[in-house]
Amino acid sequence: MDSRSLETLPESLLGDISERAATRSFAKDAIIVAEGDESDSIYLLLLGRARVYTVDDKGKEIQLKELEAGEYFGEVALDGGPRSASVRALESCRCAVVQRADLGAFMQEYPAFALHLVRKLAHRVRELSGSMRDLAFVDVYGRVARLLLELAKNRDGRLVIAERPSDEGIAAYVGATREMVGRILADLIDSGYLVKESGHLILVRKPPALW
C-alpha cells in the first residue's frame, strides 16, 4: 500500500459515509479543530483542502501537512486526549463528523474504514519509530565524533588515533550499542573522514557536527 492510499479513503467508501454521517461545512480560513481542544470526533474531508499545523513557543506556525478530499484527521480521538495539532480550511470544506462515542458502531457499519484506520495508525507508528531511531543515531554520532577528536593526536599534520579502541569500548564510553558505533564508523570511512591504516585510525578531516 503506497503512502497516498494510506491517507485517502476509496471514493466508493467516502460516498457511502457522506450519505450516512452528519456533515459540517467550513468557510475558507475557518479553524476546523484547534490544538489542545478535547478530541471528541474524527473528521472525514469530503470536499475542499485543509492544512494541519502547530504553533511553536514563539507563536510561529509550523505546517505539518495538507489534506485533500478523501483524507481524514482527528484519529487521536480514539484515546480521548487533547488535539495534537490544529486544522484550518484552505478553501470551503465539507466534512463528515463521527463522534468518539459513536466510533465503535461506525466502524462496525463500515469495516473497510476500520481496516483503513488500523493500517494508517500502524504506518504512523512505523514512521515515528524511524524518526526516533534517526534522532538517537544523530545524538550517538555526535558523541562518537567528539570522542574520536579527543583521542586523536597531531602527527606530522595528521590526526592519528594510535591505539584504536574497539567498537565495544567506544560503545560503552558513549552509551550506545556496538552495532550503532560500527555503523557510524563505517559511514565516516565511506564518506572519507576516517581511514584505517596499520592498526591506527586517522581523521583525514574533521567530522561534521551533525550527520
For 113-152, write each residue's pLDDT tens digit.
888 888 888 877 777 676 566 556 668 888 888 888 888 8
Domain positions in the chain: 3-109, 135-203
- Architecture of the structural domain at 3-109: Sandwich (2.60)
Q: Are 201 and 195 in contact (CB under 8 A)?
A: yes
What's the rounded mean pLDDT across residues 188-203?
87
| Phi, psi (deg, nearest 5) at residue 195 | -130, 140
- Assigned CATH class of 135-203: mainly alpha
- Neighbouring residues of 30: CB distance < 8 A, sequence distance ≥ 6: 88, 89, 93
What average pLDDT is seen over the chain?
A: 84
Confidence at residue 88, expressed as pLDDT on a 0 to 100 scale: 96
Q: Which tops the pLDDT comparison, 157 or 203? A: 203
Confidence at residue 2, expressed as pLDDT on a 0 to 100 scale: 46
pLDDT at 210 over 80: no
Q: What's the pTM value of the predicted model, to 2 decimals?
A: 0.60
| 3-109 and 135-203: identical CATH topology | no
pLDDT at 18 over 60: yes
* % of the chain residues with pLDDT over 70: 90
Q: Are 184 and 147 in contact (CB under 8 A)?
A: no
pLDDT at 1 over 50: no
| Phi, psi (deg, nearest 5) at residue 118 | -60, -45
Confidence at residue 130, expressed as pLDDT on a 0 to 100 scale: 62
The residue among 23, 31, 26, 75 whose CA lies nearest residue 53 is 31
